[in-house]
């Protein structure tokens, strides 16, 4: 996919991986680096895509009712409630961890449920995701 779609494929794949569709965007980033794309371009494109996907999850939390999240998106209400309580406790810095597997989507949804400022959420989400991709790119470049 990445070879034929290039950076757009990286962007799209990273965006989808940050929604409730689970797969590892790090593999896409690694593939782009192994294909010879510029490391900074790859990191920025992956971060923008992944942040967009995270903000889609945020928007779902903002717009959807609990029942819709459970029924249509198969979000576990008990898990989401636990994450919502943690987000309530820690506030905006929780967005820095929206990249985490499994709970990252729930963090983004919970932030939307709490109607937190979308701009500040997006900036912090971008920052956390950017740091993760820099780390992954650094590891890939070591080998």
Its domain, for residue 29, covers: 2-142
Q: What is the helix (H) or strand (E) element at residue 55, kind and residue range?
A: helix 39-63
Ranges of residues in the chain with a pLDDT under 70 are 1-4, 20
Query: What pLDDT is attached to residue 66?
Result: 79
3-state helix, strand and coil shares in percent for the chain, rounded to the nearest 5: 80, 0, 20
pTM (two decimals): 0.90
Query: What pLDDT is attached to residue 4?
Result: 63
Cα–Cα distances in angstroms (integers) from residue 139 to residues 31, 130, 133, 135, in the given order:
13, 14, 10, 6
* Pair of tokens at residue 30: 């690694």
The total domain count for the chain is 1
- 81 by Cβ neighbours in 10 Å (0-12 / 13-18 / 19+) ranks as middle
């Amino acid at each position: 996919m990445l070879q034929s779609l290039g950076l757009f494929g990286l962007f799209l794949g990273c965006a989808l991986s940050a929604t409730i569709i689970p797969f590892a965007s790090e593999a896409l980033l690694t593939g782009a680096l192994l294909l010879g794309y510029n490391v900074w371009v790859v990191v920025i494109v992956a971060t923008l895509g992944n942040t967009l996907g995270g903000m889609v999850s945020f928007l779902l939390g903002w717009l959807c009712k609990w029942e819709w999240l459970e029924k249509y998106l198969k979000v576990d209400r008990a898990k989401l409630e636990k994450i919502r309580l943690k987000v309530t406790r820690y506030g905006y810095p929780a967005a820095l961890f929206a990249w985490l597997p499994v709970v990252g989507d729930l963090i983004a949804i919970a932030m939307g449920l709490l109607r937190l400022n979308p701009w500040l959420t997006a900036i912090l989400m971008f920052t956390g995701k950017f740091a993760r991709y820099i780390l992954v790119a650094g590891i890939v470049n070591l080998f």
